[in-house]
Protein backbone atom coordinates (compact mmCIF):
# COMPACT_ATOMS: atom_id res chain seq x y z
CA UNK A 1 0.00 0.00 0.00
CA UNK A 2 1.33 3.42 -0.91
CA UNK A 3 2.14 5.73 1.96
CA UNK A 4 2.56 9.48 2.14
CA UNK A 5 5.04 11.47 4.17
CA UNK A 6 3.28 14.79 3.46
CA UNK A 7 3.03 17.07 6.46
CA UNK A 8 -0.42 17.55 7.89
CA UNK A 9 -2.06 20.81 6.83
CA UNK A 10 -5.52 22.29 7.10
CA UNK A 11 -7.88 23.06 4.24
CA UNK A 12 -7.03 26.04 2.08
CA UNK A 13 -9.64 28.58 1.04
CA UNK A 14 -13.22 27.56 1.75
CA UNK A 15 -15.03 24.31 2.45
CA UNK A 16 -13.22 20.99 2.50
CA UNK A 17 -11.79 21.06 -1.01
CA UNK A 18 -8.30 19.62 -1.50
CA UNK A 19 -6.60 22.51 -3.27
CA UNK A 20 -3.12 23.83 -2.64
CA UNK A 21 -4.06 27.50 -2.98
CA UNK A 22 -7.22 29.44 -2.34
CA UNK A 23 -9.35 30.41 -5.33
CA UNK A 24 -8.67 34.09 -4.66
CA UNK A 25 -4.90 33.46 -4.74
CA UNK A 26 -5.17 31.47 -7.98
CA UNK A 27 -7.12 34.12 -9.82
CA UNK A 28 -5.18 37.16 -8.56
CA UNK A 29 -1.62 35.84 -8.87
CA UNK A 30 -0.45 36.44 -12.44
CA UNK A 31 2.45 34.05 -11.85
CA UNK A 32 0.17 31.15 -10.95
CA UNK A 33 0.02 28.46 -13.62
CA UNK A 34 -2.97 26.09 -13.42
CA UNK A 35 -1.99 22.46 -13.94
CA UNK A 36 -2.51 21.01 -17.43
CA UNK A 37 -6.04 19.74 -18.04
CA UNK A 38 -6.36 16.03 -17.19
CA UNK A 39 -8.29 15.36 -20.40
CA UNK A 40 -7.37 15.55 -24.06
CA UNK A 41 -8.29 18.96 -25.45
CA UNK A 42 -10.24 19.04 -28.70
CA UNK A 43 -8.79 20.93 -31.63
CA UNK A 44 -10.63 20.44 -34.90
CA UNK A 45 -8.13 20.64 -37.80
CA UNK A 46 -10.83 22.43 -39.80
CA UNK A 47 -10.62 25.37 -37.40
CA UNK A 48 -7.77 27.27 -39.05
CA UNK A 49 -7.13 30.74 -40.43
CA UNK A 50 -7.11 29.43 -44.00
CA UNK A 51 -10.46 27.60 -43.66
CA UNK A 52 -13.02 29.06 -46.04
CA UNK A 53 -15.90 30.55 -44.11
CA UNK A 54 -19.41 29.57 -45.12
CA UNK A 55 -20.59 26.06 -46.01
CA UNK A 56 -17.23 24.50 -45.09
CA UNK A 57 -17.69 25.62 -41.48
CA UNK A 58 -20.88 23.58 -41.14
CA UNK A 59 -18.67 20.64 -40.25
CA UNK A 60 -17.73 22.55 -37.08
CA UNK A 61 -21.32 22.49 -35.80
CA UNK A 62 -23.92 19.84 -34.97
CA UNK A 63 -26.88 21.56 -36.64
CA UNK A 64 -28.84 19.43 -39.14
CA UNK A 65 -28.04 21.54 -42.20
CA UNK A 66 -29.21 18.83 -44.60
CA UNK A 67 -32.80 19.21 -43.47
CA UNK A 68 -32.97 22.80 -42.24
CA UNK A 69 -32.12 26.25 -43.51
CA UNK A 70 -30.85 27.65 -40.23
CA UNK A 71 -30.68 31.45 -40.13
CA UNK A 72 -31.52 31.91 -36.47
CA UNK A 73 -28.23 31.55 -34.63
CA UNK A 74 -29.23 34.57 -32.55
CA UNK A 75 -31.96 32.64 -30.72
CA UNK A 76 -30.16 29.97 -28.70
CA UNK A 77 -26.90 29.74 -30.63
CA UNK A 78 -25.54 26.38 -31.70
CA UNK A 79 -22.68 24.67 -29.89
CA UNK A 80 -19.56 24.02 -31.95
CA UNK A 81 -18.26 20.46 -32.13
CA UNK A 82 -15.00 21.11 -30.23
CA UNK A 83 -16.88 22.63 -27.26
CA UNK A 84 -19.51 19.88 -27.28
CA UNK A 85 -16.85 17.16 -27.34
CA UNK A 86 -14.69 18.79 -24.69
CA UNK A 87 -17.62 19.29 -22.32
CA UNK A 88 -18.58 15.63 -22.81
CA UNK A 89 -15.00 14.61 -22.05
CA UNK A 90 -15.09 16.60 -18.81
CA UNK A 91 -18.33 14.88 -17.80
CA UNK A 92 -16.86 11.45 -18.40
CA UNK A 93 -13.65 12.38 -16.59
CA UNK A 94 -15.67 13.51 -13.59
CA UNK A 95 -17.59 10.26 -13.38
CA UNK A 96 -14.43 8.14 -13.51
CA UNK A 97 -13.44 9.53 -10.10
CA UNK A 98 -15.81 12.27 -8.92
CA UNK A 99 -13.82 13.14 -5.80
CA UNK A 100 -10.58 13.69 -7.70
CA UNK A 101 -12.31 16.01 -10.14
CA UNK A 102 -14.61 17.96 -7.81
CA UNK A 103 -12.34 18.10 -4.77
CA UNK A 104 -8.96 18.61 -6.41
CA UNK A 105 -9.11 19.52 -10.11
CA UNK A 106 -12.20 21.65 -10.76
CA UNK A 107 -11.18 25.00 -9.26
CA UNK A 108 -7.77 25.30 -10.95
CA UNK A 109 -9.38 24.44 -14.30
CA UNK A 110 -12.16 26.98 -13.72
CA UNK A 111 -9.53 29.62 -13.06
CA UNK A 112 -7.81 28.65 -16.32
CA UNK A 113 -11.01 29.14 -18.31
CA UNK A 114 -11.83 32.44 -16.58
CA UNK A 115 -8.37 33.69 -17.50
CA UNK A 116 -8.94 32.71 -21.12
CA UNK A 117 -12.26 34.54 -21.14
CA UNK A 118 -10.71 37.60 -19.51
CA UNK A 119 -8.05 37.73 -22.21
CA UNK A 120 -10.67 37.44 -24.96
CA UNK A 121 -12.75 40.22 -23.38
CA UNK A 122 -9.84 42.49 -22.42
CA UNK A 123 -10.49 42.31 -18.68
CA UNK A 124 -8.73 41.33 -15.50
CA UNK A 125 -9.70 37.78 -14.43
CA UNK A 126 -10.42 38.99 -10.87
CA UNK A 127 -13.56 40.67 -12.21
CA UNK A 128 -14.94 37.71 -14.15
CA UNK A 129 -17.04 34.83 -12.86
CA UNK A 130 -19.07 32.25 -14.72
CA UNK A 131 -22.82 31.85 -14.31
CA UNK A 132 -25.28 29.48 -16.01
CA UNK A 133 -26.81 32.12 -18.28
CA UNK A 134 -27.17 35.86 -18.81
CA UNK A 135 -30.48 35.78 -16.93
CA UNK A 136 -28.65 34.79 -13.74
CA UNK A 137 -26.01 37.48 -14.15
CA UNK A 138 -28.58 40.19 -14.88
CA UNK A 139 -30.54 39.26 -11.75
CA UNK A 140 -27.36 39.47 -9.68
CA UNK A 141 -26.49 42.91 -11.05
CA UNK A 142 -29.97 44.40 -10.66
CA UNK A 143 -30.26 43.11 -7.11
CA UNK A 144 -26.84 44.59 -6.35
CA UNK A 145 -28.27 48.07 -6.99
CA UNK A 146 -30.43 47.70 -3.87
CA UNK A 147 -33.10 50.04 -5.17
CA UNK A 148 -34.90 52.11 -2.56
CA UNK A 149 -38.00 54.32 -2.52
CA UNK A 150 -37.25 57.41 -4.58
CA UNK A 151 -34.82 55.57 -6.89
CA UNK A 152 -35.43 54.87 -10.56
CA UNK A 153 -34.21 52.08 -12.79
CA UNK A 154 -33.96 53.20 -16.42
CA UNK A 155 -34.00 51.10 -19.56
CA UNK A 156 -35.17 51.35 -23.15
CA UNK A 157 -38.49 49.93 -24.29
CA UNK A 158 -36.59 47.77 -26.80
CA UNK A 159 -34.78 45.98 -23.97
CA UNK A 160 -35.21 42.24 -23.47
CA UNK A 161 -38.59 41.17 -22.09
CA UNK A 162 -37.33 39.19 -19.10
CA UNK A 163 -35.10 42.08 -18.02
CA UNK A 164 -38.19 44.28 -17.80
CA UNK A 165 -39.67 41.70 -15.43
CA UNK A 166 -36.46 41.63 -13.39
CA UNK A 167 -36.60 45.42 -13.10
CA UNK A 168 -40.18 45.33 -11.86
CA UNK A 169 -39.45 42.52 -9.40
CA UNK A 170 -36.40 44.31 -7.97
CA UNK A 171 -38.01 47.73 -7.73
CA UNK A 172 -41.25 47.17 -5.85
CA UNK A 173 -40.50 50.35 -3.94
CA UNK A 174 -38.79 52.20 -6.77
CA UNK A 175 -39.74 53.44 -10.23
CA UNK A 176 -38.99 51.81 -13.57
CA UNK A 177 -38.65 54.36 -16.38
CA UNK A 178 -38.53 53.43 -20.06
CA UNK A 179 -37.03 55.43 -22.89
CA UNK A 180 -39.40 54.99 -25.82
CA UNK A 181 -37.53 54.15 -29.05
CA UNK A 182 -39.68 54.58 -32.15
CA UNK A 183 -38.78 53.64 -35.70
CA UNK A 184 -37.44 54.64 -38.13
CA UNK A 185 -34.17 55.81 -36.63
CA UNK A 186 -31.23 57.26 -38.51
CA UNK A 187 -28.33 56.16 -36.33
CA UNK A 188 -26.82 55.74 -32.85
CA UNK A 189 -27.15 59.44 -32.07
CA UNK A 190 -30.93 59.03 -32.02
CA UNK A 191 -30.56 56.57 -29.15
CA UNK A 192 -28.09 58.73 -27.26
CA UNK A 193 -30.24 61.85 -27.53
CA UNK A 194 -33.30 59.93 -26.38
CA UNK A 195 -31.50 58.69 -23.27
CA UNK A 196 -30.09 62.14 -22.50
CA UNK A 197 -33.60 63.54 -22.65
CA UNK A 198 -35.59 60.85 -20.85
CA UNK A 199 -33.33 59.41 -18.14
CA UNK A 200 -34.54 61.06 -14.91
CA UNK A 201 -32.17 62.62 -12.38
CA UNK A 202 -33.16 60.15 -9.65
CA UNK A 203 -31.98 57.17 -11.73
CA UNK A 204 -29.82 54.82 -9.66
CA UNK A 205 -29.19 52.18 -12.34
CA UNK A 206 -29.53 52.11 -16.12
CA UNK A 207 -29.67 48.91 -18.18
CA UNK A 208 -28.70 48.90 -21.85
CA UNK A 209 -28.34 46.11 -24.39
CA UNK A 210 -25.09 45.76 -26.30
CA UNK A 211 -27.19 44.21 -29.08
CA UNK A 212 -30.97 44.30 -28.75
CA UNK A 213 -32.67 40.94 -29.16
CA UNK A 214 -35.97 41.71 -30.91
CA UNK A 215 -34.66 44.60 -33.02
CA UNK A 216 -31.01 43.52 -33.56
CA UNK A 217 -29.54 46.98 -32.96
CA UNK A 218 -25.97 47.55 -31.82
CA UNK A 219 -26.37 50.30 -29.24
CA UNK A 220 -23.71 52.98 -28.62
CA UNK A 221 -22.82 51.54 -25.23
CA UNK A 222 -19.50 53.37 -24.89
CA UNK A 223 -21.26 56.73 -25.09
CA UNK A 224 -24.16 55.53 -22.95
CA UNK A 225 -21.74 54.38 -20.24
CA UNK A 226 -19.98 57.75 -20.34
CA UNK A 227 -23.31 59.53 -19.99
CA UNK A 228 -24.27 57.43 -16.98
CA UNK A 229 -20.87 57.85 -15.35
CA UNK A 230 -21.11 61.64 -15.75
CA UNK A 231 -24.40 61.55 -13.84
CA UNK A 232 -23.26 59.12 -11.13
CA UNK A 233 -25.58 56.37 -12.36
CA UNK A 234 -24.76 52.67 -12.15
CA UNK A 235 -24.79 51.09 -15.60
CA UNK A 236 -25.45 47.46 -16.45
CA UNK A 237 -24.80 46.18 -19.97
CA UNK A 238 -27.00 43.29 -21.06
CA UNK A 239 -24.59 41.83 -23.59
CA UNK A 240 -26.30 38.47 -24.07
CA UNK A 241 -25.62 38.65 -27.82
CA UNK A 242 -22.20 40.32 -27.69
CA UNK A 243 -19.58 37.63 -27.02
CA UNK A 244 -18.48 36.35 -30.43
CA UNK A 245 -20.48 39.00 -32.33
CA UNK A 246 -18.75 42.20 -31.13
CA UNK A 247 -15.28 43.23 -30.02
CA UNK A 248 -15.39 43.43 -26.22
CA UNK A 249 -12.99 45.61 -24.23
CA UNK A 250 -14.21 45.76 -20.66
CA UNK A 251 -11.20 47.71 -19.40
CA UNK A 252 -11.93 50.66 -21.65
CA UNK A 253 -15.74 50.40 -21.50
CA UNK A 254 -15.82 51.30 -17.78
CA UNK A 255 -19.34 49.98 -17.16
CA UNK A 256 -20.26 48.80 -13.68
CA UNK A 257 -21.67 45.41 -14.70
CA UNK A 258 -21.47 43.42 -17.91
CA UNK A 259 -23.23 40.12 -18.61
CA UNK A 260 -22.85 37.97 -21.73
CA UNK A 261 -23.71 34.46 -22.87
CA UNK A 262 -21.16 31.92 -24.07
CA UNK A 263 -23.74 29.69 -25.77
CA UNK A 264 -24.91 32.17 -28.40
CA UNK A 265 -22.37 33.72 -30.77
CA UNK A 266 -19.36 32.14 -29.07
CA UNK A 267 -20.94 28.71 -29.75
CA UNK A 268 -20.03 27.41 -26.32
CA UNK A 269 -22.02 24.77 -24.42
CA UNK A 270 -25.46 25.78 -23.19
CA UNK A 271 -25.38 26.64 -19.50
CA UNK A 272 -22.37 28.98 -19.70
CA UNK A 273 -22.24 32.75 -19.37
CA UNK A 274 -20.00 35.49 -17.98
CA UNK A 275 -20.73 38.02 -15.25
CA UNK A 276 -18.25 40.87 -14.88
CA UNK A 277 -18.19 43.57 -12.21
CA UNK A 278 -15.96 46.63 -12.06
CA UNK A 279 -13.65 46.78 -9.00
CA UNK A 280 -15.53 49.82 -7.71
CA UNK A 281 -18.77 47.80 -7.30
CA UNK A 282 -17.58 44.24 -6.61
CA UNK A 283 -18.13 44.70 -2.88
CA UNK A 284 -21.85 45.24 -3.51
CA UNK A 285 -22.34 41.95 -5.40
CA UNK A 286 -23.84 38.85 -3.83
CA UNK A 287 -24.62 35.61 -5.66
CA UNK A 288 -28.18 34.36 -5.89
CA UNK A 289 -27.09 31.03 -4.40
CA UNK A 290 -25.07 31.12 -1.16
CA UNK A 291 -22.66 28.23 -0.71
CA UNK A 292 -19.26 27.39 0.79
CA UNK A 293 -17.38 30.26 -0.85
CA UNK A 294 -19.60 32.98 0.57
CA UNK A 295 -17.60 35.71 2.25
CA UNK A 296 -14.24 34.53 0.93
CA UNK A 297 -14.03 36.92 -2.04
CA UNK A 298 -15.74 37.74 -5.33
CA UNK A 299 -14.50 34.68 -7.23
CA UNK A 300 -15.12 32.35 -4.29
CA UNK A 301 -18.69 33.62 -3.97
CA UNK A 302 -19.55 32.36 -7.47
CA UNK A 303 -17.15 29.54 -8.41
CA UNK A 304 -19.09 26.89 -6.46
CA UNK A 305 -22.85 27.01 -6.06
CA UNK A 306 -23.34 23.37 -5.14
CA UNK A 307 -22.65 19.99 -6.69
CA UNK A 308 -23.77 20.06 -10.31
CA UNK A 309 -22.44 19.78 -13.85
CA UNK A 310 -19.58 22.25 -14.40
CA UNK A 311 -18.66 20.80 -17.80
CA UNK A 312 -20.35 23.62 -19.78
CA UNK A 313 -18.04 26.16 -18.14
CA UNK A 314 -14.94 24.12 -18.91
CA UNK A 315 -16.11 23.44 -22.48
CA UNK A 316 -16.04 27.17 -23.23
CA UNK A 317 -12.27 26.85 -23.53
CA UNK A 318 -12.65 24.81 -26.73
CA UNK A 319 -15.00 27.41 -28.24
CA UNK A 320 -12.48 30.16 -27.52
CA UNK A 321 -9.72 28.12 -29.17
CA UNK A 322 -11.88 27.54 -32.27
CA UNK A 323 -12.51 31.26 -32.78
CA UNK A 324 -8.87 32.12 -32.22
CA UNK A 325 -7.88 29.49 -34.78
CA UNK A 326 -10.42 30.72 -37.33
CA UNK A 327 -9.54 34.36 -36.65
CA UNK A 328 -12.09 36.40 -34.64
CA UNK A 329 -11.81 39.54 -36.76
CA UNK A 330 -12.14 37.54 -39.97
CA UNK A 331 -15.24 35.78 -38.65
CA UNK A 332 -16.93 38.96 -37.43
CA UNK A 333 -16.24 40.66 -40.77
CA UNK A 334 -17.67 37.70 -42.70
CA UNK A 335 -20.82 37.58 -40.58
CA UNK A 336 -21.45 41.33 -40.79
CA UNK A 337 -20.83 41.51 -44.53
CA UNK A 338 -23.09 38.50 -45.11
CA UNK A 339 -26.00 39.85 -43.05
CA UNK A 340 -25.75 43.15 -44.93
CA UNK A 341 -25.76 41.35 -48.30
CA UNK A 342 -28.68 39.20 -47.22
CA UNK A 343 -30.73 42.12 -45.89
CA UNK A 344 -30.16 44.07 -49.09
CA UNK A 345 -31.13 41.05 -51.18
CA UNK A 346 -34.37 40.49 -49.26
CA UNK A 347 -35.40 44.13 -49.10
CA UNK A 348 -34.86 44.49 -52.85
CA UNK A 349 -36.85 41.35 -53.70
CA UNK A 350 -39.72 42.23 -51.38
CA UNK A 351 -39.62 45.97 -52.14
CA UNK A 352 -39.37 46.76 -48.43
CA UNK A 353 -36.62 48.07 -46.16
CA UNK A 354 -34.63 47.21 -43.05
CA UNK A 355 -35.79 48.28 -39.60
CA UNK A 356 -32.66 50.35 -39.06
CA UNK A 357 -29.56 51.36 -41.02
CA UNK A 358 -27.28 48.37 -41.52
CA UNK A 359 -24.36 50.21 -39.95
CA UNK A 360 -26.25 49.72 -36.66
CA UNK A 361 -26.20 45.94 -37.10
CA UNK A 362 -23.52 43.34 -36.43
CA UNK A 363 -24.54 39.78 -37.34
CA UNK A 364 -28.32 40.17 -37.18
CA UNK A 365 -30.77 42.44 -39.00
CA UNK A 366 -34.51 42.94 -39.40
CA UNK A 367 -36.04 43.11 -42.88
CA UNK A 368 -39.66 44.09 -43.36
CA UNK A 369 -41.99 41.53 -44.93
CA UNK A 370 -44.12 42.55 -47.91
CA UNK A 371 -47.43 42.17 -46.08
CA UNK A 372 -49.07 43.22 -42.87
CA UNK A 373 -51.47 40.46 -42.05
CA UNK A 374 -50.68 36.78 -42.24
CA UNK A 375 -53.17 34.98 -40.06
CA UNK A 376 -56.13 36.80 -41.61
CA UNK A 377 -54.93 36.43 -45.22
CA UNK A 378 -53.81 40.04 -45.42
CA UNK A 379 -52.67 42.39 -48.14
CA UNK A 380 -49.60 44.21 -49.32
CA UNK A 381 -48.63 47.05 -47.02
CA UNK A 382 -51.52 49.47 -47.07
CA UNK A 383 -52.13 52.35 -44.66
CA UNK A 384 -55.81 51.43 -44.59
CA UNK A 385 -55.11 47.94 -43.30
CA UNK A 386 -55.10 47.33 -39.52
CA UNK A 387 -51.62 46.89 -38.04
CA UNK A 388 -50.10 43.42 -37.78
CA UNK A 389 -49.73 41.76 -34.40
CA UNK A 390 -47.83 38.94 -32.72
CA UNK A 391 -50.40 36.39 -33.92
CA UNK A 392 -49.56 37.32 -37.51
CA UNK A 393 -45.84 37.07 -36.78
CA UNK A 394 -46.25 33.62 -35.23
CA UNK A 395 -48.30 32.45 -38.21
CA UNK A 396 -45.63 33.41 -40.75
CA UNK A 397 -42.88 31.87 -38.63
CA UNK A 398 -44.89 28.64 -38.40
CA UNK A 399 -45.31 28.57 -42.18
CA UNK A 400 -41.56 29.02 -42.67
CA UNK A 401 -40.83 26.30 -40.13
CA UNK A 402 -43.35 23.64 -41.17
CA UNK A 403 -43.74 24.19 -44.91
CA UNK A 404 -40.26 25.34 -45.90
CA UNK A 405 -38.07 24.04 -43.02
CA UNK A 406 -36.56 27.48 -42.59
CA UNK A 407 -35.69 28.46 -39.04
CA UNK A 408 -36.07 32.24 -38.91
CA UNK A 409 -37.97 34.36 -36.36
CA UNK A 410 -40.66 36.82 -37.40
CA UNK A 411 -41.08 39.95 -35.29
CA UNK A 412 -43.91 42.45 -35.05
CA UNK A 413 -42.53 45.97 -34.57
CA UNK A 414 -44.90 48.93 -34.48
CA UNK A 415 -47.57 47.01 -36.36
CA UNK A 416 -45.28 45.75 -39.12
CA UNK A 417 -43.81 42.30 -39.68
CA UNK A 418 -40.08 41.67 -40.02
CA UNK A 419 -37.83 38.66 -40.29
CA UNK A 420 -34.82 38.78 -38.01
CA UNK A 421 -32.00 37.14 -39.93
CA UNK A 422 -28.77 35.95 -38.35
CA UNK A 423 -25.49 35.34 -40.14
CA UNK A 424 -23.00 32.92 -38.60
CA UNK A 425 -19.79 31.54 -40.07
CA UNK A 426 -21.67 28.53 -41.47
CA UNK A 427 -24.25 30.57 -43.42
CA UNK A 428 -24.07 31.49 -47.11
CA UNK A 429 -26.12 33.84 -49.27
CA UNK A 430 -28.01 30.83 -50.62
CA UNK A 431 -29.69 30.42 -47.22
CA UNK A 432 -31.33 33.83 -47.58
CA UNK A 433 -32.26 33.19 -51.20
CA UNK A 434 -34.35 30.28 -49.90
CA UNK A 435 -36.01 32.63 -47.45
CA UNK A 436 -36.66 35.15 -50.22
CA UNK A 437 -38.42 32.56 -52.36
CA UNK A 438 -40.37 31.11 -49.45
CA UNK A 439 -41.90 34.46 -48.52
CA UNK A 440 -42.81 35.11 -52.15
CA UNK A 441 -44.59 31.73 -52.24
CA UNK A 442 -46.70 32.42 -49.18
CA UNK A 443 -49.94 33.39 -50.94
CA UNK A 444 -51.39 35.83 -48.47
CA UNK A 445 -51.40 38.87 -50.73
What is the pLDDT at residue 11? Answer: 67
Q: Is 80 helix (H, G, I), strand (E, B) or coil?
A: strand
188, 211 in Cβ contact below 8 A? no
Dihedral sign of CA atoms 390, 396, 402, 405 in order: negative
> How far apart are the C-alpha atoms of 372 and 389, rounded to whole Å?
9
CB 233, CB 199: distance < 8 Å = yes
At 349 the pLDDT is 96
Q: How far, in Å, CA of 109 to CA of 311, rounded? A: 11
Residues in Cβ contact with 431 at an 8 Å cutoff, skipping those fewer than 6 apart: 69, 70, 71, 342
Task: Indicate the pTM of the whole model.
Answer: 0.94
User: What is the pLDDT at residue 187?
Assistant: 96
Quick one: pLDDT at residue 9?
A: 62
48 φ/ψ angles, rounded to the nearest 5 degrees? -150, 160
| Per-residue pLDDT, 412 | 96
Which pLDDT belongs to residue 375?
38
What is the model's pLDDT at position 382?
53
pLDDT for 46:
87
Each residue's pLDDT expressed in tens, for the chain with a length of 445 residues = 444 555 556 667 766 677 888 889 999 999 999 999 999 998 888 888 999 999 999 999 999 999 999 999 999 999 999 999 999 999 999 999 999 999 999 999 999 999 999 999 999 999 999 999 999 999 999 999 999 999 999 999 999 888 888 888 877 778 999 999 999 999 999 999 999 999 999 999 999 999 999 999 999 999 999 999 999 999 999 999 999 999 999 999 999 999 999 999 999 999 999 999 999 999 999 999 988 888 889 999 999 898 999 999 999 999 999 999 999 999 999 999 999 999 999 999 999 999 999 999 999 999 999 975 443 333 444 556 688 999 999 999 999 999 999 999 999 999 999 999 999 999 999 999 999 999 999 865 4
Q: What is the pLDDT of residue 372?
A: 55
Q: How far apart are CA 238 and CA 33, in angstroms?
A: 32
Amino acid sequence: MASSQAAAAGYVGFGSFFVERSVEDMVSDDAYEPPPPPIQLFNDPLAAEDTELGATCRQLFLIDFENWTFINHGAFGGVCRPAFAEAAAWREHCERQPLVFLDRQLFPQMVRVMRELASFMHARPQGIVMVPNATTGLNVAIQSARLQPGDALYMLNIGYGSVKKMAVAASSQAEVVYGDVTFPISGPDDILKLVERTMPPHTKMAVFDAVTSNTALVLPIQQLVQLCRSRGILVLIDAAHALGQLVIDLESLDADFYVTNCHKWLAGPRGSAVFWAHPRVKHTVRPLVVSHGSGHGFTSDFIWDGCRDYAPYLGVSAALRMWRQLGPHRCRTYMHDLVCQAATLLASAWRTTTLAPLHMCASMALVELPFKQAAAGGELQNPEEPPANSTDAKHVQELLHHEFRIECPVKCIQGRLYVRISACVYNTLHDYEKLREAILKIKIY
